[in-house]
Structure 1
Amino acid sequence: MTISRNPSFTPSPTLRKNLERSKQGVTARLNQIWDRYEHLLRSDAIELTPQEIEVLHNVCQGSFIEPSWIECLQLEIMDSDRYAENDAAATSLYQKLSTANYAQKLALVERLGY
């Protein structure tokens, strides 16, 4: 998808308040938010094996991914068939996510495109 030079969007109420309070203007503030978010994605994502990535893709597909779901991501892994079957990749992914903070889980989900 190609975005036009000046895309139009409707911000959420909380984003609107943040943008309105900004002294730097809407475009500068949105770019600042994105730059900071992109850095978080690069720096906080946990390294996964290809098998762990496959488990995470399977868990994410078809899920409504919102903040509380991300917060409890390790429980979604535990509820998966592969974890129930004592799959090594699901078990190691569960262990990694159990010690991860929210930013690390968010970075993982985002890096996988969900």
Structure 2
Amino acid sequence: MGTVRRDVLKSLEGLTEFEREVLLATLEIPKGKVSTYKRIAERIGRPRAYRAVGNALHKNPIPPKIPCHRVVRSDGGFGGERKSAEARMRLLEEEGVKIVGGRVKLTRDILF
């Protein structure tokens, strides 16, 4: 965690260990890339916990500093409420991610 700023770690106080792991893994996703709930779950060693990943992302205390908008469903779609999904799509488009028909086209060059 040497590269994670102290203010980010401070913001994660009060969350569970699992929630912190999810949010720190999400912090690693570079601009212009996306990951999936499943890939985040696999990355933290909990491959079947993809639904719990979504719940943890919902508790993100500092969006967009922790870029939860870069996490999508395995089909490239957006979970959550419509208004929230539209906002996340806009953020991704601003980062250069191509969205077609309300989904990210999940190609090898865009997946993190």
Query: What TM-score range do you get, normalising by the shorter chain?
Result: under 0.3
Which of 1 and 2 has greater Rg?
1
Higher relative contact order (CA 8 A, sep 6+): 1
Larger helix fraction of residues: 1
Larger strand fraction of residues: 2
Q: Give me the TM-score of the superposition, normalised by structure 2.
A: 0.28
